[in-house]
Structure 1
Amino acid sequence: MPQSTNAQPMTLEQSPAAMVPLCGRDTTDGYDVVIVGAGFSGLRAACELQQRGLRVQVVEARERVGGRSCAAMLNGRVVDVGGQWLGVDHQRLRALADQAGATIRAQYTTGDKLIADAGVVRRYRGLIPPVSPLGLLEFSAALARLRRLQSLVPADSPWQAHDAATLDAVTVQQWQARWIRTAGGRRLFDAALRAVLCTEASKLSMLGFLHYLSSNRSFEYLVSADDGAQAHVIEGGMHALSRHLASQLHHGVSYETPVLAIEQHANQATLRLAGGRLLSERRVIVAMSPLLASRIDMPGISVERHALGQRMPMGSVIKCLVAYRSPFWRASGLSGEFVGSDSLLSPVFDASPADASHGVLVGFIDGARALRWSADAAARRRAVIESLVHSHGPQAADPIDYVDQDWTAERYSLGCYVGVPTPGTLSSLGTALRAPSGLIHWAGTETAEAWCGYIEGALQAGERVAREVAAAMA
């Protein structure tokens, strides 16, 4: 049986044509815009600006493109150990997949789902797992209340919501304590919240939570694999689409190029790179999470923008994929989908290839549990298999391959899926998310005006910042 491995970023995209070394460049470089970060947002911005006739350079600290999407190998097949799903109405991402010639297929959902609550595993159908009758009633009522509240929070400017400061002063845990009283209802709500934002209810501002719901339709949409955020997958992996974007750039991507500082002058910004190299351009786009952006020394940016990095930590998650000789759960009439309030691995989905030549379960260790299991990869692998045996039965004890990606330990992500607004953040600092700081402009999915937290939002933010920069340079 293969040994447990941590996912290593794939470097298939690093053909000589795609890599542009920066060694020896220490003067004005002849580009109009430099983009820091080669995730989907930075790459989309680069393509948009290039189409407008501007010369663009993309620099990336990692040895790959894709940001919080990443590829690995599992049983001889490329799999996503980062962003994976194409949601309903993710129109930009669907169009990108079409342009890249990728095949889109539905997430496998045929059969019953599984839930483990208070140690008992049960089958169910429908969107909301069954807990106690009263707990189910409370949870349903809470969802209805959330829909009403999120309708009052603008997706593009949550700080303008009525009573924004009041909502921002309350944690989701405090709200939950008022409206969900049963233990079963609370366990179900906490499991769903961790699955969506990879954090604990005590860490998240209520305004931040409502903004996320408003930006992504509803709580129900976010947890749905039938007609929601997990509706479709990309054959060959989501990460291939970031490579497709990078292949369109005339000047490629400069890999392994961390930016240490950005200084602004009258009409020029100078970037200090690792190794002491300098890069000078007319405008800069920082396409990173607020947390990562705050690690760059940027004299002159607003105090509010810098503070966002301290007040929006990343969610914590480890993504795990386990391969089997066959998708054995299907023979029992199961979809593979599982949620467990006390389970190490939750949620879980079927990630088997289209031809079902072997089976794959993909699951997540999220929130505080991800931090606890980050240190010991071998122990984590054993615990993941044990969790799947408990949820999916004894056949889960015999995998043929395993891979995981600990996003909390990834130095150029520091977590996933998205920056989490702590209490008091959006109402006091939210306007700084997108507001330019002199010659520096901001992208990344956290700055999206819709679909925040998703690749769709990253693409939207890239298009928005490209328009903004083009207008500023006109």
Structure 2
Amino acid sequence: MTAPSAPRGSDGPDDVDVVVVGAGLSGLTAAHRLRQFGFTVAVFEASARVGGRVSSAEVDGVHVDLGGTFVGPGQDRILALADEVGVERYRTYGAGDNVIRWRGRSRRYRGTVPPVGAGLLDVGRIQLALDRLARTVPCGDPAAAPHATELDAESLGSWLRRSRASAAARDLIAIAGRTTWGCEPDEISLLHAVHYIHQAGGLSSMLDTEGGAQEEHFVEGSHEIAVRIARGLGPALRLDAPVEQVEASADGVVVSSVGEAVTARAVIVAVPPALRGRIRFSPELPPRHAQLAQRWPAGVLSKAYAIYDEPFWRTRNLSGQGLSDTGPVFITFDASPPGDGGPGVLLGFIGARYAREWDDLPAAERRVRALSSFADLFGSRALDARGYIDQRWGAEPWVGGGPTAAPGPGVVAPYASALVEPVGRILWAGTETASRWTGFMDGAVRAGERAALEARRLVDTSARDTDMTGDGE
């Protein structure tokens, strides 16, 4: 691999201007923008592939997104980046009726909120209460919310019980929580939940398909965005190169991986919060920053895809979108390629307590259970899949879970600021550090762009200081 060029505007010993740790969407976006600013970069990725929590596979000739999949209105930065690199998108299929299997019965429905008997009105009441509470939490600064400590002291589950939510409302919110954070309502801080809801524009924006965050997905797949950015980085990108140590001083940083050390003016660490703890920092990080890695674990979410000769559910006027209160698959989407004549693809999510059991099963049994869940919703034809694949994000050693961090009660108000607060020349990225659409692909891109701007200011300031002292002459 060719050696990186000297930093822009400097004759000093630095190898590059900025090192980026992590080649997920956030780290790749940061590196891409820095290159556009005219800076040199080195990107270290621990795994053998780029993308982080976006990944893809070909199953029986059909492309599937194993990680982040959907995009919707308001997610301007991921949409702009996809347009920039030429990845197209198409609308998620939603024509016809949705289906729900609830309390042992299956029924059809339209819209986001399914018919759950007398609990339907209560679902609306709880949604309004959560949206109202969410609007009191400043985006990007949950600790500044009125009564932040009190909100952080309880879980979403305890708030639901305290609010006398019906069993149906609690179960529906649990499905949303398993998909959104990969955890049960009792495992997530109420402050984090309502902050997340606010920065996504409300529960409807977060959960809806048409007009919401699941409105579209990418023709070539979300992972293709990462692949195309990585291709442009060339030898600046190192794969299979976990960063072992970051040594920081007033003048710069030294980032060490297996058999290589690179010096720079700044480093952007773009990995999930829990994985920050795998890197040795010298000097040690301030206590709040160091403790964050221990207290902001990833959720547990898995995905299952079944491939069919055709989207047979459409002939019954079904959308492919379904909900189940039994699992292991508890929510589904039609993820078929664009057009009506091609293969049919069902996508199912398995999260939180369901994933913790399902992820330990042998591959053959996982397939049987996932297809059985599809059959419960769409009939016995769902058992006859010509192709199948699943992705267990909790088993990914350099991701650690998904889809995002799931902090429990008591750790959001004291630690949230450490997600993004720089430590000298150490800057932070990753979807969890975004002030809007955190946990989504759009949040990852926003965070990468914000970190790139911070790095530009830091490097430019360093260059000016060097010129003023005469060391750069």
Q: TM-score range by the shorter chain?
A: over 0.9
Name 1:113's counterpart in structure 2: 98
- What's the CA shift for 1:136? 1.1
CA contact (8 A) 2:41 2:236 kept: no
**Partner-residue secondary structure (3-state), 2:43:** strand
Name 1:316's counterpart in structure 2: 300
Identity percentage of aligned residues? 37
1:286 to 260, 264, 269: 269
**Partner-residue secondary structure (3-state), 1:361:** strand
Name 2:411's counterpart in structure 1: 425
- What's the CA shift for 1:268? 2.6
Name 1:456's counterpart in structure 2: 442
The one-letter code matched in structure 1 to 2:189 is: S
Name 1:435's counterpart in structure 2: 421
- Number of aligned pairs? 450
CA 1:353–1:277 in structure 2 vs 1: closer, same or farther (change >3 Å)?
A: same
CA contact (8 A) 1:79 1:236 kept: no
The one-letter code matched in structure 2 to 1:439 is: R
For structure 1, list consecutive stretches of 5 or more residues without a partner in the other structure: 1-18
- What's the CA shift for 1:441? 0.6
CA contact (8 A) 1:301 1:437 kept: yes
1:56 to 32, 41, 61: 41
CA distance in 1, matches of 2:38, 2:373: 53
Name 1:13's counterpart in structure 2: none
The one-letter code matched in structure 2 to 1:244 is: R
CA distance in 1, matches of 2:422, 2:344: 47
Could you report, residue by residue, the CA deviation over 1:147-166 in whole angstroms, capped at 9, with x for unpaired residues? 11011001111110011001
The one-letter code matched in structure 1 to 2:273 is: P
**Partner-residue secondary structure (3-state), 2:280:** coil
- What's the CA shift for 1:20? 6.4
Matched, 1:214 2:198: yes
- What's the CA shift for 1:101? 2.2
Q: Using the TM superposition, name which of 199-208 and 464-473 deviates more.
A: 464-473
Could you report, residue by residue, the CA deviation over 1:318-346 in whole angstroms, capped at 9, with x for unpaired residues? 11110011100000010000011222112
RMSD: 1.6
**Partner-residue secondary structure (3-state), 1:322:** strand
**Partner-residue secondary structure (3-state), 1:259:** coil
CA distance in 2, matches of 1:473, 1:277: 22
**Partner-residue secondary structure (3-state), 1:271:** strand
Could you report, residue by residue, the CA deviation over 1:268-320 in whole angstroms, capped at 9, with x for unpaired residues? 3222213x432222211100111011221113212111211111111101111
- What's the CA shift for 1:215? 1.0
| Equivalences for residues 57-76 of structure 1 within 5 A | 57-76=42-61
CA contact (8 A) 1:292 1:309 kept: yes
Q: Using the TM superposition, name which of 285-294 and 98-107 deviates more.
A: 98-107
TM-score normalised over the length of structure 2: 0.92
CA contact (8 A) 1:301 1:438 kept: no
Name 1:129's counterpart in structure 2: 114
Name 1:296's counterpart in structure 2: 279
Name 2:312's counterpart in structure 1: 328
**Partner-residue secondary structure (3-state), 1:221:** helix
**Partner-residue secondary structure (3-state), 2:23:** coil
Name 1:14's counterpart in structure 2: none
Could you report, residue by residue, the CA deviation over 1:176-211 in whole angstroms, capped at 9, with x for unpaired residues? 112244222222221122122211111100000011
CA distance in 1, matches of 2:89, 2:289: 38
Name 1:386's counterpart in structure 2: 372
CA distance in 2, matches of 1:21, 1:334: 56
CA distance in 1, matches of 2:123, 2:163: 9
**Partner-residue secondary structure (3-state), 1:420:** coil
CA contact (8 A) 1:20 1:254 kept: no
CA contact (8 A) 2:143 2:413 kept: yes
Q: Using the TM superposition, name which of 156-165 and 177-186 deviates more.
A: 177-186
- What's the CA shift for 1:169? 0.3
Q: Using the TM superposition, name which of 286-295 and 261-270 deviates more.
A: 261-270
| Equivalences for residues 75-224 of structure 1 within 5 A | 75-133=60-118, 135-224=119-208
CA distance in 1, matches of 2:427, 2:165: 45
Name 1:12's counterpart in structure 2: none
The one-letter code matched in structure 2 to 1:114 is: V
- What's the CA shift for 1:265? 2.9
CA distance in 2, matches of 1:20, 1:367: 44
1:407 to 378, 383, 393: 393
CA distance in 1, matches of 2:366, 2:432: 30
CA contact (8 A) 2:157 2:186 kept: yes
- What's the CA shift for 1:465? 0.8
